[in-house]
Chains A and B, each alone.
Chain A
Amino acid sequence: MSKGKVWKYGDDVNTDVIFPGKYTYSVLDPAEMAKHALEDLDPEFAHKVKPGDIVVAGKNFGCGSSREQAATCLKFAGVQAVIAKSFARIFFRNAINQGLPVVQCSEAVDNVESGEKISIDFAAGQIKGEKGIFTFAPLPEFILRILDSGGLIPYIKKKKIEREKNLGDKNA
């Protein structure tokens, strides 16, 4: 499990501060989206974030719009995972569908600080920080499969290819 540096924020981090509405229909390239990640919350973030870093936040992370770019921009900024006390439901789905792991763990949120290095074991449901080990309920099997495929679109595509291959094998 690679360690990632923590960027910690508060409650109700909404989709407008994660990815401002003015870009929603004009910035379409994921690498470009990453440059605006968390722009209206922490203008420093997009410049300083490193691959593998971890965003930690309070309750209701990702509330607001259904804009999936809120997950895409974090993923392409290199964020390894988001840990929060709770997630807004559309953001939760979008993150999984973008292949961005989301972890609900209040204990970890209360016990890690900005700048510290932590690691996450998704299958075991464990977060290791300086102040200890915090456990969380691992995501259901089928969601982990979507995450492992890199998101919903690659997952469906993989399933389609498997189906076609099976059909081909039967016909052969």
Chain B
Amino acid sequence: MGQTFSEKVLGAKARKTVKAGEIVTVSPDYILTHDNSAAIIQEFRKLEIERVKCAEKIVIVLDHVVPASSEKYAQNHKDIREFVREQGIPHFFDVHHGICHQVFAENGFALPGKLILGADSHTTSYGALGAFSAGIGRSEAASVWATDGIWLKVPETIRIEMNGKFPAMVSAKDVILKIIGDEGADRANYKAVEFAGPAAKNLSLASRLVMANMAAEMGAKNGYFAPDEKTISWLEGRTQGEFDVVVSDSDADYGAILNYDLATIEPQVACPHTVDNVRPVSEVQGTPFHQAIIGTCTNGRIEDLRVAAKIMKGKKIHPGVRVLVIPASRREYIQALQEGELETLVSAGCLVLNPGCGPCLGAHQGILAPGEVAISTANRNFRGRMGSRDSAIYLASPATVAASALEGKIADPRKYE
């Protein structure tokens, strides 16, 4: 019996042959933290260890509340900058770079075959580039800084075979929402999700990032796309690092294989208050809302902004709503400036925020009042996430959110083709 990607990567790290279910002690290639580094530093200090074990493995990106919205957040950022200097951490990205997952990937840390840990649940994103990447908590991040080791259970793998081509105005966000809706928020708990099949190869790296990011919303430990020519050429100029492409054997043991035909997928919407409460747009169109968000680590890349700009070109957003645009990173922001998408979106009435998490986690910039409703391209719609406990969030693709922004109620983007 062959091995899955996850078995191979964790086995190589543990220097033995491993099977799903085994527990291994391994040392990661990189460990990502963000604004939560301030709390992780406190945990690290409790260990009374003077220096982190491998400073060059640590990647810190300030993104969650940037620029600081209060004295408290400002103090956190200051503590982190001081720690970075004190420990000589070379990979530090201050508030102007963008959202950690995009910054981490576009700076070439997310590489095929690498083992990456991150103190953020959407660390699953880097599977888009063929890495094994999983989220961990704060104590663990502090302990990895100190010891360079962690225990992990080798996950079983669910393989998702994708065939066919998307209809117009349907994208990666719709298929991942459909999968989560069909399978449930805990379907892949403790498991790996491998996105495969001919249609996976057709997806851009940005689209693969959307799906691997949202694998977290099925409970997955990690998401994965086998690296191909597209992956390698995307990495050119973004990394000097060496890497090995690791792929599952053709006779690998999968816990389950699911099949999806992209040609049959309609635009999908995740309704309040769980990501697996998914319906086709035809069932929820007409639902009024107050705030729309196009961006975040899930859908804030240039291909997302292009679709939104295409739909809004020469038009105005509905006067009853406000629309926030959040590019995923400074690089994506610059490209959208140069190509003109931002001009189109601002002319339509959108408000462009600096690259960062913004209102996605309800900390600042666009908090919802009681009774308010948002439609967002982000990845999570839990009760209270974007502000009041009595607000509600719908999740959809950039095309659906842009079309909805024009109409002031949830709308089917296919008519804007």
Q: A residues within 8 Å of B by Cβ?
A: 12, 14-17, 20-22, 24-26, 28, 39-41, 59-60, 63-68, 71, 86-90, 93-94, 97-98, 140, 142, 151-153, 156-157, 160
B residues near A67, Cβ cutoff 8 Å: 36, 137
| B contact residues around A87 at 8 Å (CB) | 189
Closest residue of chain A to B46 (Cβ to Cβ) is A153
Instruction: With both chains docked as a complex, state the minimum distance between the C-beta of B100 and any C-beta of chain A, in angstroms.
Output: 12
Report the Cα distance A89→B137, complex, angstroms. Answer: 10
In the complex, per-residue mask of B359-374: 1 if CB is within 8 Å of any chain A CB, else 0: 0011100010000000
Closest-CB distance, B409 to chain A (whole angstroms)? 25
A88 near B76 with CB under 8 A, answer no
For B118, list chain A residues within 8 Å (CB). 66
Interchain CB contact (< 8 A) of B135 among A12, A28, A90, A157: A90
Best-surrounded residue of B46, B146, B363 (most CB of chain A within 10 A): B363
Q: Is the beta-carbon distance between A24 and B363 smaller than 8 angstroms?
A: yes
For B190, list chain A residues within 8 Å (CB): 89
Q: Is B142 an interface residue (CB 8 A)?
A: yes
Within 8 A of A (CB), among B181-217: 185-186, 189-190
Q: By the criterion CB–CB under 8 Å, are A86 and B362 in contact?
A: no
Which residues of chain A are within 8 angstroms of B221 by Cβ–Cβ distance?
Answer: 89
**Residues of chain B in range 206-254 having any CB-CB distance to chain A below 8 Å:** 219, 221
In the bound complex, do residue B185 and residue A156 qualify as a contact, i.e. CB atoms below 8 Å apart?
no
**In chain A, what residue has the closest Cβ to B147?**
A156
**When the two chains form their complex, are residues A12 and B274 in contact, meaning their CB atoms are under 8 A apart?**
yes
Q: Give CA–CA (A25, B356) in the complex, Å.
A: 15
Interface of B is mostly: loop
Task: Tell me if B363 and A21 are in contact (CB < 8 A).
Answer: yes
CA distance A59 to B118 in the complex (A): 25
Could you tell me if A40 and B383 are in contact, using CB atoms closer than 8 angstroms?
A: yes
Tell me how far the C-beta of B126 lies from the nearest C-beta in chain A, rounded to whole angstroms: 15
Minimum CB–CB distance from B292 to chain A (whole Å) comes to 19
Flag B142-175 by CB within 8 Å of A: 1 or 0 each. 1100110001000000000000000000000000
20 additional contacts (CB under 8 A) given A22-B362, A26-B363, A71-B137: A12-B186, A17-B382, A20-B384, A25-B39, A25-B76, A39-B389, A41-B383, A60-B185, A65-B120, A65-B380, A66-B137, A87-B189, A90-B137, A97-B139, A152-B139, A153-B142, A156-B47, A156-B143, A156-B147, A157-B46
In the assembled complex, the CB of B143 is this many whole angstroms from the nearest CB of chain A, namely: 5
Contact A16 B382 (CB under 8 A): yes
Give the chain A neighbours of B48 by CB distance below 8 A: 157, 160
Known: A16-B383, A63-B185. A24 touches B361 (CB 8 A): yes
Which B357-409 residues sit within 8 Å CB-CB of chain A?
Answer: 361-363, 367, 380, 382-385, 387, 389
B70, A26: Cβ atoms closer than 8 Å? yes
Q: Are B186 and A60 in contact (CB under 8 A)?
A: yes
Complex Cα–Cα for A15 and B47 (A):
27
**Is B42's beta carbon under 8 Å from chain A?**
yes
B36 & A153 in contact (Cβ 8 Å cutoff): no
- B219 x A25 contact (CB < 8 A): no
A-B contact count (CB 8 A): 132
Residues on A with C-beta less than 8 A from B76 are: 25
The residue in chain B whose Cβ has the minimal distance to the Cβ of A61 is B186
- Shortest beta-carbon contacts, A-B, top 3: A60-B186, A16-B382, A94-B137
Asked if B140 is at the interface of the complex by the 8 Å CB criterion, the answer is yes
Q: Which residue of B lies closest to A59 (CB)?
A: B186
Q: Measured between alpha carbons, how far is A18 from B142 in the docked complex, in Å?
A: 23
Partner of A12, one of B38, B185, B362, B384: B185
1/0 per position for B42-59, CB-CB distance to A under 8 A? 110011110000000000
| C-alpha gap A89/B151 in the complex (Å) | 13
Per the bound structure, the CA–CA distance linking A25 and B80 in Å amounts to 13
A60 touches B219 (CB 8 A): yes
Contact A153-B362, Cβ < 8 Å, known A12-B185, A16-B382, A25-B76: no
Pairwise interchain contact A25-B363, C-beta atoms closer than 8 A: yes
Cβ–Cβ < 8 Å partners of B43 in chain A: 153
Known A21-B362, A89-B190: A64·B72 in contact at CB below 8 Å: no
Q: How far is the CB of A36 from chain B (nearest CB, A)?
A: 11
Q: Does B65 contact A (CB under 8 A)?
A: yes
Measured in the bound complex, the distance between the Cα atoms of B186 and A88 in whole Å is: 7
**Contact partners of B138 in chain A: CB under 8 A:** 68, 94
CB-CB < 8 A to B143: which residues of A? Answer: 97, 152-153, 156
Using Cβ atoms and an 8 Å threshold, which residues of chain A touch B361? 21-22, 24, 65
